[in-house]
Chains A and B, each alone.
Chain A
Amino acid sequence: MDFFDRFAIPHPSPVIYASMVAIALTLVAIVAGVTYTKKWGYLWREWLTTVDHKRIGMMYLISALLMLFRGGADAIMMRAQTALPENTLLDSQHYNEIFTTHGVVMIIFMAMAFIMALMNFVVPLQIGARDVAFPRLNALSFWLYFWGAMLFNISFVIGGSPDAGWTSYFPLAGNEFSQSVGTNYYMIAIQIAGLGTLITGINFIVTILKMRAPGMKLMKMPMFTWSALITNLIIVFAFPVLTVALAMGTIDRLFGGNFFTTTDGGMDMLWANLFWVWGHPEVYILILPAFGIYSEIIPTFARRNLYGYKSMVASIVLISVLSFVVWVHHFFTMGQGAMVNSIFSITTMAIAIPTGIKIFNWLFTLWKGKITITVPMLYSLGFIPIFTIGGVTGVMLGMSAADYQYHNTMFLVAHFHLVIIPGVVFAMLAGLTYWWPKMFGFMLNERIGKLSFWLISIGTCVAFFPMFISGLDGQARRMYTYSEATGFGIWNMISFVGAIMLAAGFVTIVYNIYYSTRYASRDISSDPWDARSLEWATHTPVPDYNFAITPQVNSSEAFWDSKKNGHKLFPGNYKEIHMPNNSGVPFIMSAIFFVLGFALVFSIWILAVIALLGIFACLAHRSFEQDHGYHIPVEEVKETEEKLGGARQ
């Protein structure tokens, strides 16, 4: 039985055993449910093998929401543990595992996936394209992400979770101090998901550069597409750094390498540097699409075109450049000289300039606008003040001399949550509500949506503002408990209340999805918000081929022009449309990646070799395959268009 001993949990608890049972039951329920309703064929044909960017976007969305709840459960447990001094709800080891998985799940598997979801669904529609440049690679990206996420998530029931923090600093993350396989999961699962992200990056750059509708010059692209382009450029240049760092970490842990060890010349600070050379641009990979979403929503509901389009573009480009030259500010206290720290302080504070430009542009767009308060608009309006508080405290942290006081305290935790939550989470929820009717053909309930907004935004402030105070008082982050004499108790209790409000907010979102799916009217127009960009110019639900006739564009708001100024968006007649074929290979290949990852985590070499051969076979199959897609004949296009409510003007 020695072979199976390695899969045991090193530090078990009743909660983990309960989770095991829950996971097993869920899997059985899913399999039984699909079998009972005879949906395996449907699932395989319509979803697992799909290469349609819209469906891939939806699958990203579902995965992101699931991961949001996984990461959210971690967050609630942490806040509950620290709500009282010397609480014993969790022990230190579990607390370590939970803050580690909370960070990884929220950043890599929730926020990234949410961004990919909206980018996948919206960008090809916004530029008037039929699909992305490489539809099959797009499917591969999603499935690599999905199986990477699955690999990471089984860690807590098979072999133990990673427990060295989401930053996984060495030597803590090395074999000496992290003996369970947990950190192997970290290194390998993120590697697999990261590969998918890199492929998305390449795919979307080519799509945006080469597949825009005629007339849509770069400076006439909608702002969300601009932000997607820049985001993907950052992905392509930042993710390989993570690839190398994770590979080195893997070599250290599995093969006894000496990159980050404390003996034989190893250098632990190399990990910290490489991690943040990727990690800081990653922050902007998360925030730029969010900025793009706000730049779509604010003009729509202020009934004005975006103020300062050119300066918006210039500032995201500037942010993307600066994002690569600030990484040292994550470890000012870790041994650089005053000179190096000062340089990175200045570059860090410089980022506030382009970000400030964007904030003012949004405010000027609102100025004298005819504002309608809808749920997406509420999130956008709530974002501006809360994000500014988070951002300004970031500038405080950016002063290297002062950072010695703030570093690794709850002040830092408050800062980055107050930029990431209004920045990314609000934007994603705003985008979700905004594009939901285009995705699913009905609108989310506004009343419940507004309730969610207030719960989430007030919850965010209540949960994180007290951390500024306890942090300045000296409460270190990642401490599983504290004594009563420290006086941190009251602040942590307030935080816990905020966390519960946040959780309640997310529950109302789920309820809203349920409620609206059941009761919302299906009789909505294809442009329910009276919006401005091309994705609203096609039918709802969007036909497979997106646009029957390729749109002609003359401005950055071509659809608005077609509605108000008589611009003819769809000239010409129907032609037959070329479409890509579905393929099961991306799904199968990614599943084999999962097997490979699992084999590597537990050093089962024979299985790893077999999996590698499997991946190689999939690649070879793709090389020899001849697949020219298929054509939708003109009659079918005409029929579909008529069924969806007639030709578009």
Chain B
Amino acid sequence: MKVDQTKPLEYSTEQNNLNILGFWMFLGAEIMLFATLFASYFTLEGRTGSGPSGSEIFEITPVIFETFILLTSSFTIGLGVHAMRLMNKKATIAFFSITLLLGLAFVGFEVVEFFTYIEEGAALQTSAFTSILLSTLGTHGAHVTFGLFWGLFILIQIKKRGITPETANKSFIFSLYWHFLDVVWIFIFSFVYLKGMM
């Protein structure tokens, strides 16, 4: 394994470079995935059948909490990557842990939100609107949940193996993923919740 000392650790080997570009391509595919979901959401938004509409079920308070939690976690993972570049293992682990805890809190809020919707008669089967709403939110939520496990595995590897070109590469890629989910959430917040409540 040839290590290029002039570059940040996560870019220091040939394979690391390939991994990062590959992940950007994957994010391109993810953009298309969420774009399709959003396009379908806008198409089906008004088609509520006999079920409730967005303005009847959306509540601003938990959504604001979710937003702040997720945005903060994006900030902390940025600090984590910064600490990693300074080769500060302790700080890296700390910031990644905070990120994952915030992610967990976000998922917790979302689960409660889903149960509330179902109680209020907005289940997956209720109408085209609820189907696409829960699918769009659910796809994002499933990504965050998947990220929790992925992040945890990387955290364990940093703890065990230290900050190496490999773990640095994995953490950096994970941070790209996490920031991406944050960006998607901003779109969900603006175009699902805020638009729906207006």
- Rounded to whole angstroms, the CA-CA distance of A134 and B49 in the bound complex is 47
Tell whether A133 is near chain B: CB-to-CB under 8 Å: yes
CB-CB under 8 A for A265 and B33, given A134-B22, A206-B25, A248-B135:
no
B1 near A: Cβ within 8 Å? yes
Interface: A106 (CB within 8 A): no
Which listed residue (B30, B43, B124, B129) contacts A240, Cβ 8 A?
Answer: B30
Complex interface: chain A residues within 8 A of B129 (CB): 265
Chain A nearest CB from B88 CB (Å) reads 23
Contact B25 A258 (CB under 8 A): no
Q: Does A515 contact B (CB under 8 A)?
A: no
In this assembly, does B32 line the interface, its C-beta being within 8 Å of a C-beta of chain A? Answer: yes
24 A–B pairs (Cβ distance < 8 Å), ordered by A:
A201-B25, A201-B29, A202-B25, A206-B22, A209-B21, A210-B21, A236-B25, A244-B36, A255-B125, A257-B124, A257-B131, A257-B135, A258-B127, A258-B128, A259-B44, A264-B50, A265-B128, A267-B43, A270-B40, A616-B149, A620-B149, A620-B153, A623-B154, A624-B153
Does A266 touch B at the CB level, under 8 Å?
yes
Q: Does B37 contact A (CB under 8 A)?
A: yes
* Given A264-B51, A264-B128, 11 other A-B residues pairs in contact with their CB atoms under 8 A: A206-B25, A237-B32, A240-B29, A240-B30, A244-B36, A244-B37, A257-B135, A265-B51, A623-B154, A626-B166, A628-B1
CB proximity of A616 to chain B, nearest CB, Å = 8
A263 / chain B contacts, CB cutoff of 8 Å: 49
Are the C-beta atoms of A267 and B36 separated by less than 8 Å? no
Q: Determine the distance from Cα of A367 to Cα of B153 in the docked complex, in whole angstroms.
A: 61
A550 to chain B, nearest CB (A): 13
**A265 to B130 CA separation, bound complex (whole angstroms):** 10
Q: Are B29 and A256 in contact (CB under 8 A)?
A: no
Q: Decide yes or no whether B97 CB sits under 8 A from chain A.
A: no
Given A244-B37, A274-B40: A206 in contact with B18 (beta carbons within 8 A): yes
- Is A241's beta carbon under 8 Å from chain B? yes
CA distance in complex: A596, B43 (Å) = 31
- Write out, one digit per residue, whether chain A residues 513-547 have a CB within 8 A of any chain B CB (1) or not (0): 00000000000000000000000000000000000
Cβ of B67 < 8 Å from any Cβ of A? no
Identify which of B21, B36, B47 contacts A241 (C-beta below 8 A).
Answer: B36
B36 A256 Cβ-Cβ under 8 A: no
Residue numbers in A under 8 Å from B156 (CB-CB)? 624
Taking a contact as CB atoms under 8 Å apart, the answer to whether A202 and B29 are in contact is: yes
Chain A residues lying within 8 Å of B153, measured Cβ to Cβ, are: 620, 623-624
Q: Is B72 an interface residue (CB 8 A)?
A: no
| Residues of A that sit less than 8 Å from B by CB | 133-134, 198, 201-203, 205-206, 209-211, 236-241, 243-245, 247-248, 251-252, 255-259, 261, 263-267, 270, 274, 277, 616, 620, 623-624, 626, 628
> Which residues on B are within 8 Å of A, measured CB to CB?
1, 17-19, 21-22, 25-26, 28-30, 32-33, 36-37, 40, 43-44, 47-51, 124-132, 135, 149-150, 153-154, 156-157, 166, 170
B19 to chain A, nearest CB (A): 8
Contacts of B28 in A (CB 8 A): 236-237
Nearest B residue to A235, CB-CB = B29
Tell me whether B21 and A206 are in contact (CB under 8 A).
Answer: yes
A265 touches B157 (CB 8 A): no
Residue among A209, A245, A247, A265 with most chain B CB within 10 A: A265
Question: Are B18 and A267 in contact (CB-based, < 8 A)?
Answer: no
Q: How far is the CB of A575 from chain B (nearest CB, A)?
A: 12
Q: Which residue of B lies closest to A264 (CB)?
A: B49
CB pair A210 B18 closer than 8 Å: yes
Q: In the bound complex, do residue A255 and residue B32 qualify as a contact, i.e. CB atoms below 8 Å apart?
A: no
Q: Which residues of A contact B25 (CB under 8 A)?
A: 201-202, 205-206, 236
Count of CB-CB pairs between chains A and B under 8 Å: 115
Sorted nearest first, the 9 A-B pairs with minimum C-beta distance are: A265-B47, A264-B49, A265-B128, A240-B32, A240-B33, A265-B49, A244-B36, A256-B125, A623-B153
> Which A residues touch B150, using CB under 8 A?
623
Closest to A209 in B: B21
Say whether A258 contacts B29, CB under 8 Å.
no
Task: Say how far B155's CB is from chain A's closest CB, in angstroms.
Answer: 11
Contacts of A245 in B (CB 8 A): 36
Contact B128 A133 (CB under 8 A): no
Residues of A near B18 (CB, < 8 A) are: 133-134, 206, 210-211
> In the complex, what residues of B have CB within 8 A of residue A258's CB?
49, 125-128, 130-131
Q: Are A256 and B124 in contact (CB under 8 A)?
A: yes
Nearest CB in chain B: distance from A514 CB, A: 40
List B contacts of A238 (CB < 8 A). Answer: 32
Cross-interface CB contact of B135 among A205, A251, A274, cutoff 8 Å: A251
Residue of B nearest to A134 (CB): B22
A236's partner among B17, B29, B125 (CB-CB below 8 A) is B29
Given known A237-B29, A251-B131, contact A266–B47 (CB-CB < 8 A):
yes
Select which of B22, B131, B166 is within 8 A of A259 by beta carbon: B131
Q: Contact: A266 with B128, CB < 8 Å? A: yes
A265 touches B40 (CB 8 A): no
Distance from A111 Cβ to chain B, minimum over Cβ atoms (Å): 21
Chain A: which residue is nearest B154 at the CB level? A623
Which residue of A is nearest B22, CB measured? A206
Residues of B within 8 A of A202 (CB): 22, 25-26, 29
The residues of A that contact B135 with a CB separation of less than 8 Å are: 247-248, 251, 257
* Cα distance, A264 to B127, chains bound together (Å): 5
Closest to B164 in A: A626
A624 near B157 with CB under 8 A, answer: yes
What is the CB-to-nearest-CB distance from B168 to chain A, in angstroms, rounded to a whole number? Answer: 14
Contact at A270–B44, with CB atoms within 8 Å? Answer: yes
Note all chain A residues with C-beta closer than 8 A to B1.
Answer: 628
Contacts of B154 in A (CB 8 A): 623
- Distance to closest chain A CB from B162 (angstroms): 13
Tell me which residues across on chain B come within 8 A of A261, comparing CB atoms.
Answer: 128
Contact A240-B36, Cβ < 8 Å, known A258-B131, A265-B44, A624-B157 = yes
Counting chain B CB atoms within 10 Å of each CB, which of A238, A251, A628 scores highest?
A251
Give Cα distance in the complex from A241 to B150, angstroms. Answer: 25
Q: How far is the CA of A576 from the CA of B129 in the complex (A)?
A: 60
Query: Cα distance A237–B31 when bound, in Å?
Result: 9
